[in-house]
Structure 1
Amino acid sequence: MIFTRIFLFLSCCLSLSHFSASAQEPDNKISIIPEPVELARTEGYFILPDEITIRVTLSDELQNTVALLKEKIVTTAGTRVTIASKDDQAAIVLQINPSEDITLGKEGYRLHVNPKQIVIRANQPAGLFYGVQTLLQLFPKEIEGKKIVKTNKWRIPSVNIADYPRFAWRGLMFDVSRHFFTKEEVKKYIDNMVKYKYNLLHLHLTDDEGWRIQIKSLPRLTEVGAWRVNKTGYFGSFSHPQPGEPKDYGGFYTQEDIKEIIRYASDRFVNILPEIDVPGHSLAAIASYPELSCTPGVEKYSVRAGEPIMDWSRGAPPIALIDNTLCPANEKVYEFLDKVITEVAALFPFEYIHMGGDEAPHNFWQKNPAIQALMQKEGLKTMEQVQGYFTRRVEAIVQSKGKKFIGWDEILEGAPSKSTAVMSWRGVEGGIKAAGLGHEVVISPSTYAYLDYMQGDIAIEPKNYASLRLSKAYQFDPGEGIADIRFIKGGQGNLWTEQIYNMRHAEYMTWPRAMAIAESVWSPAGKKNWTNFYTKVENHFKRLDLAEVKYAPSMYDPVFLPSTGSDNTLRVELSTEIPGLDVHYTFDNSFPDKFYPKYTAPLVVPKDAVTLKVITYRDGKPIGRMITAQIADLKARIKKK
């Protein structure tokens, strides 16, 4: 009888223990972005103790990796951390493989967690860095906070992970020209991107709206070209600056700033790709040195503040309302670019320099006598060939500085040499063509990877000329349609900042879509799964909250599809990007909640209704944002089709 009671008591304790562990399981859901190549969950958890030793043979390349891991643990868990080069009992081990693990390559790693120890092995320091990023994602979400959290939940699930990237080039482009971001903000952007194993930051440093890098031999580029009249509203529709308006918006990076950013990025295994966008997008340079234009002295040039300067009604290339191009027939232009590229090449260790080449209008070239003389001299028949002549001369300058030339896919129209690399942005077609011609290619299509596009409905998002939902971004595949994948260096997302005025909004536009792109360039194509991905994103939202990083919750908002019924009534179909959401709506201008009608079939809009308000719920709780769509706007969407 006593034995039976003891057995029942022990059985009850074991059951309670199992129930407790199971109840905590959601807090320890494995949500690694990007998805690893191989991941196996094993039994148990590693429980973070009050004191811990990290065993590692420190080198200059590993200093930051170890410091990052230590700081995270100390700051949030309050655990005392010791670094040692020899300690057989160390709870965390970071180890460079004594002999190469061929599977892993330069950036891969193996991560093993069991209840007694955490071990990360890699061939190179970069691999250990990415292994640490994965380990931090295995920690409870509180690891992303900024204060000590005393909890019994500091545990890491036991796993075996083998991981390495699909592509070597995994980039984000940050446009710091249209709106200026400080070096500290650029560093913060780097901090966030490396969490998702990005290894390249493409800085768009020059454009019509500002020249952002100090060139010591050409001081007017930053004295004049870095500053403009400050305006707020919808960029591209601003009034023209008037004489006397202060040019007090802008800024630039000194060469010391650039060196500091490069060091910071290098410590995190990120390369910096500089872009000097020519021959178009050059108004800031021309405002500084008007003699570089094909039409000097015709008008007083100034850095664009956001007023209209292009007519896009006929498509690309646009018709310039003001000449914003460098003149291919002017030898001073090549002397200018030689000075710029000389200083840029000396600053940036990365092997490539991006020289733009996109959206260059040709209408001012067409009526220029010097251009006509150049065409006759060089046997050029078209304006595309004129731009090709310009590209080849700039390429020669870049190569003379020991660098490789890369440009946007328009440069293909000028038949560049095979040594030129191509960044395909106008869909994937340019990349397919370039690879077929033997060029190295980075796939960066607007269709999947333009982070300045609206990510939810226009009724709630800051207006832009196109949309890119998270689910669409997740369909990005840099290898799609490429016959010879060897020419594809990788892919990247691009954040253009015409409509992005501050860092919080830059974060909002980047995340979570950059998570989708990260998984597209790191993870094997066969490992991608939309359902698995968006559930991971939801867990990462909690981490971003604690890290105080802004993000877009647009995946919870409904998609509007208006149409006209056979009886000429306005109909609106609503759908959701992720399943399991209920949409509640109203036409009576009040704010719907879960007690209002639930969407079950396409809505017929009442004749005199002015607004359609919607909100999404999940499990009886609001999860989406309250969205007010104007009926007039919904009707206008139909007319545009």
Structure 2
Amino acid sequence: MKNISNTHWKFISKMMIVLILATVSSTMISKGNNEAKAISAIESSNNIIIPRPVSYEKGEGKFILTKDTSIYIKGNNEEETEEINKIAELIRGKLKSSTGFELNIIKSDNVPSGSIYLTTIGSEEAQGDEGYKIITTPENVKIIAYRPEGISRGVQTLRQLLLADIEKDTVVTDVEWSIPVSTINDKPEYGYRGLMIDVARHFFTVDEVKRQIDHASQYKINKVHLHLSDDQGWRLEIKKWPDLTNIGGSTEVGGGPGGYYTQEEFKDIVKYAAERYVEIIPEFDMPGHTNAALASYGFLNPDGKRKPLYTGTDVGFSSLMTHDEKTYEFIDDVIKEVSEISPSKYIHIGGDEADSTKKEDYDYFVGRVSKIVEKYGKTPIGWDPIDTSPEINSNVVLQNWKDSNEAAREKNMKMIISIAKKAYLDMKYNESTPYGLDWAGYIPVETAYKWDPTDYAPKELVLGIEAPLWTETISDTKAMDYMIYPRLLGHAEIGWTPKDARDWNEYKVRLEKQGERMKNQGINYYKDSSVWTSEKK
């Protein structure tokens, strides 16, 4: 090598630069071609829907919604017709806000031209509870589903087939409200697609929770898991133990006023969610994350005295007494009251970060509490490492937030996949994100989309996915919106759309189109520069 002349070195250097530039150029062209293909495919089909439907076939022409349009409804029986009527009332109210149209709802299967028809008649059992078919012609729009729940999911798709102005809350004039002629067949990949809201670290009102239910359900999220107790607050009234909320609900992170839901308010949230086919899942975290309860009642502590209220953000310092019968009598009272007002088949018993509880005591505790939940006809859910307890079996669902779940696999436990480094909504997008934490790493929008539950568990054990929002740093709806959106749309698609039908380059084109819809709904979403390329963050 020492004998190579300077001239030869210059020649070799130039050739290396040319090769590098050619490789980079080729990569950029390939990437650009992929994105161009994604844009072309979407533009040719008008399919900007999230989650992406299983199939979308574009036709010729359009259906035009007018002030004379009516919504026709018909079920297989009177009870089903009444259920469909409630769905029709919700979409009528939504459409009225922006169109100004007072659409009539008519119970009949004699559907004239110019109408929307919602029905379960002639449907296929293979669609399941949430599947649906939308057939749009220039004359009619027909949504057919095996169950009314499927009609509700189809109606959410129908919203996205209209202009983004449909999401405004004031009447929009000089607009043609048209739906492209098409046939959509659709059903979900997983039956559990969840959003968790931590209302314990910071409290959020009934209306604030309802707002998030509205926003999430439009993307076919069907579970909202409420984290109702933690060290910083107890948020649901338990009538036998009123100091849980009188004392335990009186503060939050940073020392704010806290708050709680009465049982009637909780039932109101449940009813509101059920009208949108969203299941509310209550959680009481045990045996750790329990300082709010320990501050409310002295008998839950070894010395018989109440703990001081806590408004910080540390974890792992609190624990219930795992071998005291008073503890289990208290828990039984809580589970009994909650099971009476919560129609969900699940009650979540926490189980994470119990660092102040010995392993053998933890194992005994979670096993015993799971049996209390089962006694009241509910299925227990627990965070890992609950699966490592010998007292836990396949009757319990694991919510998996770490990478490991070997014990759950061995026990054939169903799992909700909520891996922190992919699904946690409180993780920052990048170093400049004004809210959130970064202990699990940054989660940009692309990272939040490019994963699958089967990366972490066998498909036959996956119940579904859930995206948790922990609220140590989230104190208002502005911050909540920013951290949830747009990442929740990606999680919704992961839960709904088959893995082989998902592609980041194609998805981000559809996501960009959703920005105007979210803006029209007043959602303070994060404008990722890789998606909204013409806007600043």
Alignment match, 2:147: 124
From 340, 362, 381, the counterpart of 1:387? 362
Q: Does 1:290 align with 2:264?
A: no
TM-score, normalised relative to structure 1 = 0.73
Whether contact under 8 Å (1:490, 1:521) holds in the other structure is yes
From 379, 391, 394, the counterpart of 1:418? 394
Whether contact under 8 Å (2:435, 2:479) holds in the other structure is no
Q: Does 1:330 align with 2:309?
A: no
- The separation in 2 between residues aligned to 1:147 and 1:117, in whole angstroms, is 26
- The separation in 2 between residues aligned to 1:408 and 1:98, in whole angstroms, is 41
SS of structure 2 residue aligned to 1:389 = helix
Alpha-carbon displacement from aligned partner over 1:439-487 (angstroms, at most 9, x marks no partner): 11111111211000001x213433512311111110231223534x232
Alignment match, 2:14: none
What does 1:174-573 correspond to in 2, within 5 Å?
174-228=197-251, 231=254, 249-294=257-302, 296-297=304-305, 301-306=307-312, 309-310=314-315, 320=317, 324-362=318-356, 383-415=358-390, 416-427=392-403, 429-430=404-405, 433-455=407-429, 457-462=430-435, 464-465=437-438, 466-483=441-458, 485-553=459-527, 555-556=528-529
Alpha-carbon displacement from aligned partner over 1:495-549 (angstroms, at most 9, x marks no partner): 1111000012111111100000000000111110111111111111101111111
Structure with the largest fraction of helix: 2
Alpha-carbon displacement from aligned partner over 1:193-242 (angstroms, at most 9, x marks no partner): 110001111000000010000000001101100012773xxxxxxxxxxx
Q: By how many angstroms is 1:177 displaced?
A: 0.6
What does 1:54-73 correspond to in 2, within 5 Å?
54-57=71-74, 59-73=81-95
- The separation in 1 between residues aligned to 2:54 and 2:506, in whole angstroms, is 14
- The separation in 2 between residues aligned to 1:61 and 1:153, in whole angstroms, is 30
Whether contact under 8 Å (2:253, 2:312) holds in the other structure is no
Alpha-carbon displacement from aligned partner over 1:419-453 (angstroms, at most 9, x marks no partner): 111110113x32x6413421111111112110000
Residue 90 and residue 266 in structure 1: after superposition, are their counterparts in 2 closer, same or farther (change >3 A)?
Answer: farther
Q: By how many angstroms is 1:295 displaced?
A: 5.2
SS of structure 2 residue aligned to 1:107 = coil
- The separation in 1 between residues aligned to 2:131 and 2:252, in whole angstroms, is 48
- The separation in 2 between residues aligned to 1:248 and 1:520, in whole angstroms, is 36
TM-score, normalised relative to structure 2 = 0.87
Residue 230 and residue 445 in structure 1: after superposition, are their counterparts in 2 closer, same or farther (change >3 A)?
Answer: closer
Alignment match, 2:37: none
Residue 152 and residue 503 in structure 1: after superposition, are their counterparts in 2 closer, same or farther (change >3 A)?
Answer: closer
From 46, 61, 84, the counterpart of 2:106? 84
Q: By how many angstroms is 1:389 displaced?
A: 0.4
SS of structure 2 residue aligned to 1:103 = helix
- The separation in 2 between residues aligned to 1:53 and 1:256, in whole angstroms, is 36
Q: By how many angstroms is 1:551 displaced?
A: 0.5
Whether contact under 8 Å (2:348, 2:381) holds in the other structure is yes
Q: By how many angstroms is 1:74 displaced?
A: 2.0
Alignment match, 2:70: 53
State the structure with more CA Rg.
1
Q: By how many angstroms is 1:296 displaced?
A: 4.5
Residue 78 and residue 227 in structure 1: after superposition, are their counterparts in 2 closer, same or farther (change >3 A)?
Answer: same
- The separation in 1 between residues aligned to 2:284 and 2:407, in whole angstroms, is 24
Whether contact under 8 Å (2:465, 2:495) holds in the other structure is yes
Whether contact under 8 Å (1:40, 1:159) holds in the other structure is yes
Alignment match, 1:606: none
- The separation in 1 between residues aligned to 2:448 and 2:303, in whole angstroms, is 41
SS of structure 2 residue aligned to 1:479 = helix
Alpha-carbon displacement from aligned partner over 1:382-401 (angstroms, at most 9, x marks no partner): x3222110111111211111
Whether contact under 8 Å (2:202, 2:253) holds in the other structure is no
From 145, 148, 169, the counterpart of 2:171? 148
- The separation in 2 between residues aligned to 1:303 and 1:518, in whole angstroms, is 37
Q: By how many angstroms is 1:489 displaced?
A: 1.0
Whether contact under 8 Å (2:244, 2:296) holds in the other structure is yes
Structure 1 gaps of 5+ residues are 1-24, 232-246, 311-317, 366-382, 557-576, 582-617, 626-641
Whether contact under 8 Å (1:495, 1:510) holds in the other structure is yes
Whether contact under 8 Å (2:201, 2:252) holds in the other structure is no
Whether contact under 8 Å (1:165, 1:521) holds in the other structure is yes
Whether contact under 8 Å (1:92, 1:118) holds in the other structure is yes
Whether contact under 8 Å (1:435, 1:488) holds in the other structure is no
Identity %: 34
Residue 346 and residue 75 in structure 1: after superposition, are their counterparts in 2 closer, same or farther (change >3 A)?
Answer: same
Residue 272 and residue 463 in structure 1: after superposition, are their counterparts in 2 closer, same or farther (change >3 A)?
Answer: closer
- The separation in 2 between residues aligned to 1:103 and 1:479, in whole angstroms, is 23
Alignment match, 2:535: 623
Alpha-carbon displacement from aligned partner over 1:351-396 (angstroms, at most 9, x marks no partner): 111000000023xx5xxxxxxxxxxxxxxxxx32221101111112
Alignment match, 1:74: 96
Instruction: Say which structure, 1 or 2, has more relative contact order (CA 8 Å, 6+ apart).
Output: 2
Whether contact under 8 Å (1:39, 1:160) holds in the other structure is yes
SS of structure 2 residue aligned to 1:61 = helix
SS of structure 2 residue aligned to 1:287 = helix
Residue 90 and residue 267 in structure 1: after superposition, are their counterparts in 2 closer, same or farther (change >3 A)?
Answer: farther
Residue 498 and residue 69 in structure 1: after superposition, are their counterparts in 2 closer, same or farther (change >3 A)?
Answer: same
- The separation in 1 between residues aligned to 2:302 and 2:419, in whole angstroms, is 31
- The separation in 2 between residues aligned to 1:52 and 1:331, in whole angstroms, is 63
- The separation in 1 between residues aligned to 2:288 and 2:201, in whole angstroms, is 15
